[in-house]
Chain A
Amino acid sequence: MHSSSSIMHSVPAWVVQASTIVLLFVVWAVIAYFTKEPAILPTPAATFRAMANLIARGTLTAAVQESLRTLVIGCAICIVCVVPFALLIAQSRQIASVLQPMVRFISCVPAIALIPLFIVWFGFSTNAVYATLFYTSTIPLLFSVITGVQKIPRVYADGLRPLGAGQLRIVRDVYLPGAMPGIEVGIRLALSYGWRAVIAGELIIGSSGLGRVLAQARASNQVDQIIAVMIVIAVLFLIIDRLILFPWNQLVSSRWSSF
């Protein structure tokens, strides 16, 4: 304990964290070098060559665009449909208290198990991926927004009403700004769960995007391409999470989180 805390005082956290990543690649390189089985574990160099090849052929860049486009459009549709609906539902405690367990029961069915049904409905198309994404993202979004509204102290709405505010005014001035942190959490969850749903959907449906590249690499047993695509998926997730969602969360909570 004592020796580790003294290390912490002298070395900044990011150096420790960067060295972990470097160590991971070194261990991988050493294992790959000694097993000499490129069909099972290619070296990091071979993996990045495969990645460079996929980029040069345009496969990878097109797939990243397709996956991101599916995620953004799907989540946008989801937000436009679900947020107003959830704000409406949350107006009545009774409706919300019956609807929530209903949605919870439905959400017990994993999206993955429903993919065959979506395939029957939409064929092996991107629409089936959209259905998977919509099903996955709706649930956290709906719950977060309803929770966000229910956290608003009732006195705010009750205080405006005697002053002559109509229901519309109360929704605009109390519920919408008050539920902002809840909406923000919901959108963040919808995007990060949605990203996994997009990859899983594309992988099983094989219509487009990074999931299809992964499925094709699997079909031709090219492990270097499989690992290359997995690295791209992880890096994109980290970029979405750290560079977009996290700063946005800080912004929203400093602007609207007043209680």
Chain B
Amino acid sequence: MTTLRLTSSSIPALGIPVSVVAILLLALFWFALTNVFGVPEYVFPSMSSVAAALLEAALSGRLLDDTSISLLRLLLGAVIGIVTGIAFGFLVGLSRTARIAVEPLINAFSGIAGIAWIPLALAWFGTGLAMSTFVIWNGMFFVVFANTILGVSRVPPAYAQAIFTLGGDRREVLRSVIFPGALPDILTGVRVGLAFAWRSLIAAELMGSPMGLGQWVNEAATYQRTDRILAGCMTIAVLGVLLETLLVSWVAHRTVVRWGTVAVAEERKAL
């Protein structure tokens, strides 16, 4: 999973000045592209028209409706994905034979990216909530599952043996050794899974779900409204970053960092 971390779309733990400089430079490039070099509005809209499109959507209530529908769909699928991923990950991770046995399954299913499942999901469930839930569950489950197995297998057996020696039973070991020990990896899985699931959801909405941010962008494309497409893309990007970095690092700070399972610096690198 280290390869996934490498390209994570999270904002790195950089000093604020550098990111501010980067944002200002990007804005400057954008301004130069549309206002100085005169790239036409229908090819690449200017900042002001994207802002106007965003404002219009916000005032008409469309933005709030679509955002809340997308987030509700994500929440439903993600909760099921996380719970089943962790539960099955524990079942499999505790046995070496089971770990080796499921490896080809994980490889095969990670080869079929979440998006390739959408046609099957559409054929099975139509365009309703069941479809988006299945697609999001599918995007989350395998990553959380694989990372839970990894985390469980990395807990040093000596810790568990220490609890056994002190008279703890199997449940005690699971609760106070294996779960906290595996949580950093589980959180990585949740973060990567949320990124996958968010993309899959947008794709599912592009391909037919009524309402939602993906559908908003899709409708904008039908009318060739590039300003609305970019406004939608930026909303999707901001929500994606908020979900995968802030939410997960908030959970991490209240759990693994507080317990001392990972140091703050390491946590920054990992999440």
The one of B112, B117, B207 that contacts A237, using a Cβ cutoff of 8 Å: B112
**Cα A230 to Cα B113 with chains together (Å):** 10
A236: nearest chain-B partner, CB-CB = B111
Interface 9-residue window, one of B56-64, B72-80, B90-98: B90-98
Interface of chain A residues 77 through 105 with chain B (CB within 8 A) = 97-102, 104-105
**Cα A16 to Cα B100 with chains together (Å):** 7
Interface of chain A residues 162 through 220 with chain B (CB within 8 A) = 185, 188-189, 193, 196, 199-200, 203-204, 214-215, 217-218
Q: Which residues of A approach B to under 8 Å, CB–CB?
A: 1, 4-5, 7-8, 13, 16-21, 24, 40, 97-102, 104-117, 119-121, 139-140, 143-144, 147, 185, 188-189, 193, 196, 199-200, 203-204, 214-215, 217-218, 221, 223, 226-227, 230, 233-238, 241
Q: Are B7 and A193 in contact (CB under 8 A)?
A: yes
Interface 9-residue window, one of B142-150, B221-229, B257-265: B221-229
Please judge, given known A-B contacts A105-B23, A116-B220, A204-B203, whether A110 and B240 are in contact too, CB under 8 Å: yes
Interface of A is mostly: helix
Q: Are A98 and B25 in contact (CB under 8 A)?
A: yes
**Cα A124 to Cα B229 with chains together (Å):** 16
Contact sample, A vs B, 21 pairs, CB 8 Å cutoff:
A16-B97, A17-B101, A100-B12, A105-B19, A108-B240, A110-B236, A113-B233, A115-B206, A116-B220, A117-B230, A120-B229, A140-B6, A140-B7, A185-B3, A189-B7, A199-B115, A200-B113, A203-B119, A203-B207, A215-B119, A230-B120
For residue B18, CB closer than 8 A to chain A, the reply is yes
For residue B21, CB closer than 8 A to chain A, the reply is yes
The one of B11, B198, B221 that contacts A110, using a Cβ cutoff of 8 Å: B198
How big is chain B's contact interface, by range? 35 or more
**Chain B contacts for A17, CB-based, 8 A:** 100-101, 103-104
The one of B95, B237, B241 that contacts A1, using a Cβ cutoff of 8 Å: B95
Q: Are B202 and A112 in contact (CB under 8 A)?
A: yes
Q: Are B105 and A237 in contact (CB under 8 A)?
A: no
**Chain B contacts for A227, CB-based, 8 A:** 120
Q: Are B214 and A113 in contact (CB under 8 A)?
A: yes
A17: nearest chain-B partner, CB-CB = B104
The one of A18, A101, A119, A140 that contacts B19, using a Cβ cutoff of 8 Å: A101
Q: Are B97 and A109 in contact (CB under 8 A)?
A: no
The one of B100, B116, B124 that contacts A233, using a Cβ cutoff of 8 Å: B116
Q: Are A102 and B237 in contact (CB under 8 A)?
A: no
CB < 8 Å A-B pair total = 176
Q: Other than the known A120-B221, A199-B115, what 19 A-B pairs have Cβ atoms closer than 8 Å?
A: A4-B95, A4-B96, A19-B101, A20-B105, A108-B238, A112-B199, A113-B202, A113-B236, A120-B226, A120-B229, A143-B6, A185-B3, A196-B113, A200-B113, A203-B118, A204-B203, A226-B120, A234-B109, A238-B108
Q: Are A108 and B120 in contact (CB under 8 A)?
A: no
- A11 CB to closest chain B CB (Å) equals 8
**Chain B contacts for A24, CB-based, 8 A:** 105
**Chain A contacts for B119, CB-based, 8 A:** 203, 214-215, 217-218, 226
Interface of chain B residues 1 through 28 with chain A (CB within 8 A) = 3, 6-7, 9-12, 14, 18-19, 21-23, 25-26
- A14 CB to closest chain B CB (Å) equals 9
Q: Are A223 and B104 in contact (CB under 8 A)?
A: no
**Cα A32 to Cα B112 with chains together (Å):** 21
What are the interface flags for B44-88 relative to A under an 8 Å C-beta threshold, 1 for contact and 0 otherwise?
A: 000000000000000000000000000000000000000000000
B103: nearest chain-A partner, CB-CB = A17
**Chain A contacts for B237, CB-based, 8 A:** 108-110, 113
**Cα A189 to Cα B4 with chains together (Å):** 9
Q: Which of A5, A109, A111, A214 has the most CB of B within 10 A?
A: A109
Q: Are B113 and A110 in contact (CB under 8 A)?
A: no
The one of A4, A40, A102, A185 that contacts B98, using a Cβ cutoff of 8 Å: A4
**Chain B contacts for A185, CB-based, 8 A:** 3, 6
- A29 CB to closest chain B CB (Å) equals 16
